[in-house]
Amino acid sequence: MSAVVLLHEQIAANRRAYQRCVALLVGGLALFGLLVTLVLGLGVGGLGAGLGLAVLVVGFAPGVGERAALRDAGADPADPERLPRYHNLVNGLCQAAGLPMPRLYVVDSDAANAFSVGRDPERAALVVTRGLLAGLNRVELEGVLAHELNHIWSWGARLATLGVALGRVPGLLRLVAPPRREFDADEGSARLTRYPPGLVSALRKLAAGEPPGPPNLRHLWIVAPDDDTRPPLPERIAALQEL
């Protein structure tokens, strides 16, 4: 399967998942409005208010989630003069794929990790830690960056960003950050870089570390041990080795 075909399949799957989340959210708020209507005798006003609130939440949640994630992670814009390798690698991957380049951020942490957030491929951010930039060689770093870019281009980052905005609602993260999305992004990275061993080596280096930042961001990081929204690393590595 080519990288383009794979990306289109991922986009379709992530859009369906996003639509399911939106439907659940709208249905839940509409039900809340209906209950308020019945209790207070507001007629259709309560139901209309619930639907109106749902529209506002759906419209603003991705942007709110993106800003919250960058703030809570302590991410700062990455200076291209101080971090040229970071900018050059991302720019090269974006040019190779013919897809937009996200804004680049860095977290001042020795932990080696990365995540991506955004509303759509044109309005997204890629975040790495200084530990990742210092601890990985070029091919390993390229594999991680390609993984996060795949989340952005496949609209998977929008799903995960929605999870930040809405919090850890029981069961919600299973919809916005299903374990399958990590396998898909790993494969997308391997197809883009044409070198699966690079990401395999990176994942092995990241396996022992803990992601920085608060618990509400754990589902975003490429590696987060014991997080139930992602598959075990040995399974991800085995899948990469079969490509």
CA 179, 184, 189, 192: dihedral to nearest 10 degrees?
-170
The residues that bridge with 116 in the sheet, in sequence order, are: 126
Dihedral sign for Cα atoms in the order 214, 229, 202, 106? negative
- Report angle CA 137, 143, 148 to the nearest 5 degrees: 125
Q: Is 148 an annotated catalytic residue?
A: yes
How many other CB atoms are found less than 10 A from the CB of residue 94?
18
Q: Which amino acid, residue 50?
A: G
The backbone torsions φ and ψ at residue 61, rounded to the nearest 5 degrees and listed phi first, read -60, -45
The catalytic position among 66, 142, 148, 182 is 148
Cα 231 off chain centre by: 15
Q: Which amino acid, residue 194?
A: R
Q: Among all residues, which ones are annotated catalytic? A: 148
